[in-house]
Amino acid sequence: AEVIIVPDARDAGELVAEAIADLVAGRPDAVLGLATGSTPLPVYEALRARRSATDLSRMRGFALDEYVGLAPDHPESYRSVISREVVSPLGLDPDRVHVPDGSLSGIEHAGADYEAAIGAAGGVDLQLLGIGTDGHIGFNEPGSSFASLTRVKTLTEQTRRDNARFFDSIDEVPRHCITQGLGTILRARHLVLLAFGAGKAAAVAAAVEGPVTASLPGSAIQLHPHVTVVVDEPAAGRLV
């Protein structure tokens, strides 16, 4: 992977927003892989700041993951988060932006349907990734197969604790999710993994420099030919 160490998250956001703007300049209906959580927010913010220069209305998007069992209109469902933090502020076309279906009624088909939709779109051009403190990418928790496709997974206690900040209490954090698999993620043409803060340093070092192992799902990026890792100094702190 190419590792770029930036002074702060804002610089990372600008760098990655520029790469996305270049992609869309070449092909207005390019496919962006969207991540949620705190990490990608500076990218979305930088894209919003360049809205007058970059028309994103034809860009297509696929989110990495969704909680299972939250009402779709729950403010913390990733469908709601993507709508609020990405689609509306960036002027994307809501019909071109997809989030896995985490509703219980559709759960049996949701994974295969999502894979089919990504395939029909021609695959993901640039996939934004954060990384969990336990090394997950998407919600592929430790032990996930490198060949896995979109499917239902159980969230680890650590991830539920990490994400409790978005809910009133940890009891409200769902126990299950539907996530693109590591195999799905590895099919994207360019992976851009972002991480900020010392809390991510161990996961970043393990993903970039550690053994390639299902125990650290982020290490799957080492199998991909085109990866850019953008980190601030604290998150780079354990890289050799």
Binding region for ligand F6R (CB under 6 A) out of 24-32, 33-41, 145-153, 219-227:
33-41
Dihedral angle over CA of 29, 3, 9, 150, nearest 10: 50
Binding region for ligand F6R (CB under 6 A) out of 11-19, 31-39, 205-213, 223-231:
31-39
Using rule CB under 6 A, residue 64 touches ligand F6R: yes
Q: How far is the CB of 78 from ligand F6R (least distance, A)?
A: 7
CA separation for the pair 28, 10 (Å, rounded)? 25
Task: For residue 39, give the nearest of 74, 6, 1, 80 by alpha carbon.
Answer: 6
Q: Reading across the β-sheet that carries 176-179, which strands appear in turn?
A: 65-67, 176-179, 151-154
Residue 65 vs 101, nearer CB to ligand F6R? 65
**Residue 109 φ then ψ, to 5°:** -100, -10
Binding region for ligand F6R (CB under 6 A) out of 18-26, 36-44, 50-58, 111-119:
36-44
Amino acid at 169: S
Q: How far is the CB of 88 from ligand F6R (least distance, A)?
A: 18
Task: For residue 28, give the nearest of 104, 77, 96, 109 by alpha carbon.
Answer: 96
Considering only residues 113 through 142, tell me which ones interact with ligand F6R, judged by CB under 6 A: 130-132, 136-139
Catalytic machinery residues: 65, 134, 136, 141
Residue 64 vs 216, nearer CB to ligand F6R? 64
